Amino acid sequence: MSDQLAVVDVVIAVWNSSGTIERAVRSALAEPAVNCVIIVDDQSTDDTLHMVSSLSTELGDRLRVDQLESNAGPAAARNRGLALSKAPWIAILDSDDYFRPGRIRTLLDQSEGADFIADDLIQIEEGEDDADPAAKSLLELKDTVILDLDTFVAGNISQKGRLRREFGFLKPIIRRSFLDRHQLRYEAALRLGEDFALYSRALALGAVFKLVPSRTYVAVVRSDSISGNHSKKDLENLRDSDGVLMRLPTLTGVQKKLIQQHYESIDARIQWLNVIDAVKARNLQTFLLPFFVRRKTSVYLIGCLLEQLVIRSKNLIRQL
């Protein structure tokens, strides 16, 4: 089939990634079906840009390097990469992560009829072996699945005590013609959840999103990653993006309800940050207000307070 011959451009948004970017680049360029790797630097403050420029000199035309005029976040950097790309398929690779050998061919071989196609990914700590049988997979897929909007959104609703296995972490290859036909790009204002926002809108527009059970994308889990260190503003932008998504006329009642649940789960985290701010400011009124937003939020906040009480009690006991 024609997709067997399709080439893929790999887009990598980078910010202060000097320690990992070479591994990411070389893993992508090792794939024969990759036309080029496009790196967009988001105004790094370390020597990332110097490093990738040196790599470009070594690797030639298959590595392109660009830089945003100001720090604007990964969504804006990826959009720049999409604008520079010309290939019929796009792959997104995070600068901390890397491909296992054969990833792109594995996905292309199963891409017929799909607009997005991803495999399960492996999550490891830096320095761990991705071939270790104990390495964690995100979804533990056993069979090929066609992902619909209902399942996608439901799988991204965070719950206390549940392992993070959100579909939004997946890194599919994406058919460019689908993005262009629907004028679909990443929401530039988002520094958190930009993948969720893109995938959910694509599914709402009828994208065929295929998941296959291979594991060829390696996600390196870091405590200091950007996605793990977000501000209240980042959460507010993601919540507000859900508010816009809910107004799409093509959504069913069930889909709107699921997106509302996702909206409320994010808003609960925002309200917890409001509680923390109120405690720091010693303002009783602003401390109490988040508890009256909605019942589910109140239950969540009480749980957070009890959790903090247990942590502080244990710390106090240790000091005795």
- Identify the domain boundary among 221, 253, 276: 221
Q: pLDDT at position 5, please?
A: 56
Run means of pLDDT, 10 residues per run, the chain, 320 residues: 66 96 97 96 95 93 95 97 97 97 95 96 89 81 94 84 71 97 97 97 97 94 65 97 95 97 96 96 96 96 94 82
Residue 44 amino acid letter: S
| 12 lies in some domain | yes
Q: pLDDT at position 198, please?
A: 98
- Identify the domain boundary among 171, 198, 221: 221
Q: pLDDT at position 228, please?
A: 55
Q: pLDDT at position 129, please?
A: 87
Please check whether residue 24 is in contact with residue 103, taking contact to mean a CB–CB distance below 8 angstroms: no
pTM for this prediction: 0.91
| 227 lies in some domain | no
For residues 30 and 144, state if they share a domain. Answer: yes
Q: pLDDT at position 135, please?
A: 78
Q: pLDDT at position 2, please?
A: 40
Number of domains in the chain: 2
Numbers of helices and strands, H then E, in the chain: 11, 10
For residues 192 and 237, state if they share a domain. Answer: no
Q: In whole angstroms, what is the distance from residue 12 CA to residue 65 CA? A: 10
Q: How many residues does the chain have?
A: 320
| 21 lies in some domain | yes
For residues 92 and 189, state if they share a domain. Answer: yes
Neighbouring C-beta atoms of residue 57, cutoff 10 Å: 10
Q: In whole angstroms, what is the distance from residue 194 CA to residue 69 CA? A: 20
Q: Which domain holds residue 240?
A: 232-319
| 226 lies in some domain | no
Q: pLDDT at position 79, please?
A: 98
Q: Which residue has the tokens 């594991």?
A: 215
For residues 185 and 252, state if they share a domain. Answer: no
For residues 158 and 297, state if they share a domain. Answer: no
Q: pLDDT at position 224, please?
A: 59
For residues 72 and 155, state if they share a domain. Answer: yes
For residues 159 and 123, state if they share a domain. Answer: yes
For residues 214 and 243, state if they share a domain. Answer: no
